[in-house]
């Protein structure tokens, strides 16, 4: 939910990795598959809000959510529903790009969505809801990306993490395994800023990685508090271009 990297693999596949920074007492269910309308969604589930921060659809789409928009915001007492519901709402739609642009964000707390689809060719998207306006853009799939949640990290911290990722990219092949290593170990020794953080009651609770390589889709969920790793995969439906 709070630190995300996205890397394409020869413009045919991708690796998306997410560190979730959350209150220690917030319960989460490990990966499972759920049916929504006529689609199957695979995700770890937040028990409090009922949604998720990361999910894959068997209709060849993936979404990951970070709290906050471009900047930190003043929290209101009430919102329409949990931001985690946005992920499952959008993945029920047929066209990811349209769904991101048309989704009604009114009354929701600010968030950032990272979307990937490979129905006809690989596409990366970013959609930011700042509490007043929606900002949507298509991303260059030949580039690598890192996001850090605006609710936890200042612009200076975000830039520092970008620098870590750039240096790591220069020195390493960005394989799924190496990206996990980055998400576990990157930092300067300061547990307040490292990719795995520890801030009193707030910690990096888990690392979730979605790999789509050689037509194989797999989700890996690592519970850092319980020291457990879960894997799940399904075969995406083949979409024929009209």
Per residue of the chain (242 residues), give pLDDT as tens. 689 999 999 878 999 999 999 877 778 899 999 998 889 999 999 887 678 999 999 999 999 999 998 988 878 778 788 888 999 999 999 999 999 999 999 999 999 999 999 988 999 999 999 999 999 999 999 999 999 999 899 999 999 999 999 999 999 999 999 999 999 999 999 888 899 999 888 899 999 999 999 889 999 999 998 999 999 998 776 655 54
- How far, CA to CA in Å, does 21 sit from each of 18, 209, 242? 10, 15, 41
Residue 103 has phi, psi (to 5 degrees) of: -60, 135
Q: What is the CATH number of the domain that holds 62?
A: 3.60.60.10
Residue 238 lies in a domain: no
* Torsion angle of C-alpha atoms 133, 139, 143, 149, degrees rounded to 10: 30
Residue 163 lies inside a defined structural domain of this protein: yes
Find the domain containing 162 and state its range: 3-233
- Whether 242 maps to a domain, the answer reads no
What's the confidence (pLDDT) of residue 242? 42
Beta strands per DSSP E along the chain: 3-9, 13-23, 28-36, 39-46, 54-57, 61-67, 111-117, 123-129, 134-139, 145-148, 198-199, 202-213, 216-223, 228-233
Count CB-CB contacts under 10 A for residue 82.
16
Is 62 a domain residue? yes
Does residue 207 sit within a domain?
yes
Domain count, the chain: 1
Token pair of 87, please?
A: 């992920």
User: Is residue 241 a part of any domain in this protein?
Assistant: no
Which pLDDT score, from 0 to 100, does residue 119 have?
Answer: 87
The confidence score (pLDDT) of residue 41 equals: 96
Residue 166 domain-assigned (yes or no)? yes
How many angstroms separate the CA atoms of 10 and 180, rounded? Answer: 19
Name residue, tokens 């959510």: 65
Quick one: pLDDT at residue 238? Answer: 61
Would residue 240 count as lying in a domain? no
């Amino acid at each position: 939910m709070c630190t995300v990297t996205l890397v394409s693999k020869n413009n045919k596949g991708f690796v998306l990795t997410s560190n979730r920074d959350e209150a220690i007492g917030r319960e989460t269910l490990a990966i499972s598959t759920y049916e929504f309308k006529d689609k199957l969604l695979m995700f770890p589930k937040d028990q409090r809000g009922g949604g998720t921060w990361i999910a894959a659809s068997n209709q060849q789409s993936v979404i990951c959510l970070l709290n906050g928009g471009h900047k930190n915001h003043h929290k209101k007492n009430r919102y329409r529903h949990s931001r985690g519901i946005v992920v499952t709402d959008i993945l029920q739609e047929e066209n990811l790009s349209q769904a991101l642009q048309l989704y009604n964000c009114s009354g929701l707390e600010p968030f950032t969505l990272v979307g990937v689809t490979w129905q006809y060719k690989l596409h990366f998207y970013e959609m930011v809801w700042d509490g007043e306006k929606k900002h949507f853009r298509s991303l260059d799939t030949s580039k690598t990306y890192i996001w850090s949640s605006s609710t936890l990290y200042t612009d200076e911290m975000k830039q520092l993490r970008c620098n870590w990722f750039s240096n790591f990219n220069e020195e390493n092949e960005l394989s799924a395994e190496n990206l996990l290593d980055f998400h576990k170990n990157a930092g300067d020794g300061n547990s307040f800023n490292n990719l795995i953080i520890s801030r009193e009651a707030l910690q990096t609770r888990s690392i979730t990685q979605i790999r789509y390589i050689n037509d194989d889709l797999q989700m890996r969920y690592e519970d850092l508090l319980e020291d457990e790793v879960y894997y799940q995969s399904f075969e995406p439906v083949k979409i024929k271009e009209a």
